[in-house]
Amino acid sequence: MQDKNEQIVADFLQHREELGDDIMADVENMLGVKPFIFSAMRERPDTFVLSSLADYKTGRPDSLSPKTAELIAIAAAAGAGADNCLKVHIRAAQKEGATRDEILDTIMIAAMMGKTKILASALRLLPEDK
């Protein structure tokens, strides 16, 4: 990295503690809980601030409503088998106005895509009868 950019990052990271506090408060307000991984990552303040800011911007893009972003997070968590994340994002989606039916349909779509992945891979390997 160029010296001037290293200095910009170093100046930014001088505020890591107050940024970390703000991020934790914002995430708790957004999700209704302080995620376990965030609490653990705070042990590395530089990495926490840089990583969590990227996640925050990715998880709540300007192009999507918060409810839509949470429904997508539910689908991704379901597909990844991330049960704790799934619980957090279901509550967050409800907080953003998602109905039980919207959440159920989101989970059903995620399950359909998971099934399709298995079938597409496995059936390509199935020998044809000859």
Which tokens belong to 120?
């597409």
> In residues, how long is the chain?
130
Whether 129 has a pLDDT exceeding 90, the answer reads: no
pLDDT tens for 43-96 read 999 999 999 999 988 999 999 999 999 999 999 999 999 999 999 999 999 999
pLDDT tens for 92-115 read 999 999 999 999 999 999 999 999
Cα–Cα distances in angstroms (integers) from residue 58 to residues 55, 68, 101, 104, in the given order: 5, 13, 25, 23
Contact at 8 Å (CB) between 48 and 20?
A: yes
Max Cα-Cα span within the chain: 69
Give pLDDT, residue 76. 97
Whether 130 has a pLDDT exceeding 80, the answer reads: no
**Domain edges within the chain:** 1-59, 63-130
Give pLDDT, residue 58. 94
CA-CA distance, 76 to 9, in Å (whole number)? Answer: 31
Contact at 8 Å (CB) between 8 and 37?
A: no
